[in-house]
Amino acid sequence: MPEIDLWGSEVIKDYEHVFKEFGLSPFPDKWKTRLKHRFFSRGIIVAHRDFQKVLKCIESRKPFINITGIASSGPFHLGHKVDIDLFRFFKEARARNYLCICDLDGYLSRPDKKMPDMKKAKEFAIVNAADALALGIAPQDIKVQSRRETRYYEFTLELSKKITKNMFQAIYGHIDLGKVAANLLQYSDILHGQLEEFEGKMPSITGIGIDQDPHARLTRDLAKRLPYSSEVPSFIYFRHQSGLKENTKMSASMPDTAIFLKDSKQEVERKIANAFTGGRNTAEEQRKLGGRPEVCKVHELLLFHLEDEKELQRIWRECKQGKWLCRECKQYTAKFLNGFLKKHQKRAAEKIPIAKKLVLEKS
């Protein structure tokens, strides 16, 4: 049992009412040991819909579809790295892979002020694809939305006949046409892999945030009403990943809440120095009472990204005991992230020519 049980049981407790309301199943402990990745052992994956189908495929070495979509609406931050790290886990479990770089979605769902034309969305798509390649995704696993096969677009339009204006309004609270189009593309991304022109009928898995569940439910409902035989897609749900400031989300529109994969060493140091921690008012008080890693944004960064389990446990323990103070902890975290980012940025720069080909050339 990991020492940091808090991220499992406490978080599940926090989410219990959400699970009940939406009918989500908590991710069972018995599966966590069967899936060798920190996202499972550390309780970062909190819930699922029909994950047992995918687990069965993994354990019996049967094929399944691994599909994630990321809208090209800005540079990637560490929250996007989490999506890609999970995608890579399933890829390594021999999935059929669809990492969708969603340039059309990025353009359609963002206001003109932010995304004036497709050219801008494609510029983001190029840097996003380069980041994904640098994070270990193969070019053939990257599917750029605007470069897809005719059958993909046909299928997207077929889906439009399965959704009424009222259904859309009930789920999303509006019927903005750009967003309707973006959503159709997102449903298509998740479902099209099971068409006979692609992989054919088989289970599929997508990792999402709990707040995206209404979207997952509609996609699952669509799968049941298609004129094609298909498996209802499975989903797993991440616990909420907060921003660096108190009560914030990591967001591209508030740059100080997130660490971007393109951030300089100085930006990372500054953002971490200003992050919300679980430290006490003075060093003396912290030595006496210990810190509160359970509310600390710096510790959350380590929880999601530091692979070394023993080191994570040490930091948690020594913080609680008041032996490890925020100043050294912030320096440690900045150094750890900067070490990763330095290598990543070099790799991503080398991947730009392949990314340009994927985004700009006809497939």
Site residues, ligand SF4 (CB under 6 A) = 277-279, 291-293, 296, 298-299, 319, 324-326, 329-330
Q: Minimum distance between the CB of residue 259 and ligand SF4, rounded to whole angstroms? A: 15
Cα–Cα distance for residue pair 83/207, rounded to 1 Å? 7
Give the nearer residue to ligand SF4 in terms of CB position, either 125 or 315. 315
Query: What is the CA angle 98-50-18, rounded to 5?
Result: 105
Amino acid letter, residue 303: L
Residue from 170, 212, 278 nearest 68 by CA = 212
Select 156 or 277, whichever has its Cβ closest to ligand SF4. Answer: 277
Minimal distance, residue 324 CB to ligand SF4, in Å: 5
CB-CB contact of 118 with 105 (8 Å): no
Residues 273 and 335: beta-carbon distance below 8 Å: no
Shortest Å distance, C-beta 210 to ligand SF4: 24
**How many CB atoms are closer than 10 A to CB 182?**
20
Sheet of 45-49: strand order equals 25-26, 45-49, 234-238, 204-209, 65-71, 96-102, 142-144
Nearest to 267 by CA among 77, 129, 79: 77
38/299 with CB nearer ligand SF4: 299
Least Cβ distance, residue 85 to ligand SF4 (angstroms): 21
Distance of closest approach, residue 314 Cβ to ligand SF4, in angstroms: 11
Closest CB 333 distance from ligand SF4, rounded Å:
7
Radius of gyration of the chain (CA): 21
Judged by CB, which is closer to ligand SF4: 109, or 277?
A: 277
Q: Which residue's CB is nearer to ligand SF4, number 31 or number 332?
A: 332
CB-nearer residue toward ligand SF4: 233 or 278: 278
Nearest distance, CB of residue 295 and ligand SF4, angstroms: 8
Q: How far apart are CA 301 and CA 306, in angstroms?
A: 8
Torsion of CA 55, 58, 59, 60, to 10 degrees: 120
Q: For ligand SF4, give the closer residue by CB, 36 or 323.
A: 323
